[in-house]
Amino acid sequence: MNGTEDLITRAEAIARKAHTGQVDKAGQDYIDHPRRVAANAAAIAEEQGLDSADAEFAIAAAWLHDVVEDTSVSAEDLRREFPAEVVDAVDAVTKRSGEAVEDYFARVRADRLAVIVKTADLADNTDPARQAALDDETRVRLAAKYRRAYELLGVDLLGEDAD
């Protein structure tokens, strides 16, 4: 196994352990979300022509994108295991208590890998199959939230650059 495969394998293992027992809004195993986000990040990295190291960093960060926000794993824990590029992207997509949404997205936009991870995250969160599993009230509320998120991230609803 080469170093980059090991990086992604370690990220997946930490995410799986950290999210054990968690479920999403539809009652499904939560780890399926980071798995799909990692696959989305891989596709985006390929579309954007990222070099192999940056692509691996983006995929690892995608696996880990919710561990600091939703589990007991800290950014400092991740810094002991992963390159700064991975942890910086995870930190950028981690929401802080009381933070304005505009400030959050400004921080995400400042990190190229974080933009890939957040775009991949939004793509999964807005997937019609996932949305169909939600009740109408939740679906409507989240649709407005995600529409605003795409706007603040600077991508259109198809996940392409809005520039």
pLDDT given at position 58: 98
pTM of the complete model:
0.89
pLDDT given at position 4: 57
Please state, in angstroms and rounded to a whole number, the distance separating the CA atoms of residues 92 and 86: 10
Burial class of residue 90 (count of CB atoms within 10 Å of its CB; 0-12, 13-18, 19+): buried
**8 A C-beta contact, residue 26 and residue 134:** yes
Q: Give the start-to-end residue ranges of the domains of the chain.
A: 3-153
**8 A C-beta contact, residue 70 and residue 141:** no
pLDDT given at position 128: 86
pLDDT given at position 124: 94
| Neighbouring residues of 60: CB distance < 8 A, sequence distance ≥ 6 | 7, 8, 10, 11, 82, 86
pLDDT given at position 156: 64
pLDDT given at position 157: 53
CA 153 to chain CA centroid, nearest Å: 13
Please state, in angstroms and rounded to a whole number, the distance separating the CA atoms of residues 65 and 43: 16
pLDDT given at position 100: 97
H-helix segments, the chain = 3-18, 32-47, 52-64, 67-70, 75-79, 84-93, 101-109, 112-125, 128-132, 136-153
In the numeric block, the tokens 């090991």 are attached to 6
**8 A C-beta contact, residue 138 and residue 98:** no
Residue by residue, pLDDT tens for the chain (163 residues) are 445 559 999 999 999 999 999 998 888 999 999 999 999 999 999 999 999 999 999 999 999 999 999 999 999 999 999 999 999 999 999 999 999 999 999 999 999 999 999 999 999 998 888 888 888 898 899 888 999 999 999 986 554 444 4
Domain 3-153 has CATH 3.40.50.150: no
pLDDT given at position 5: 59
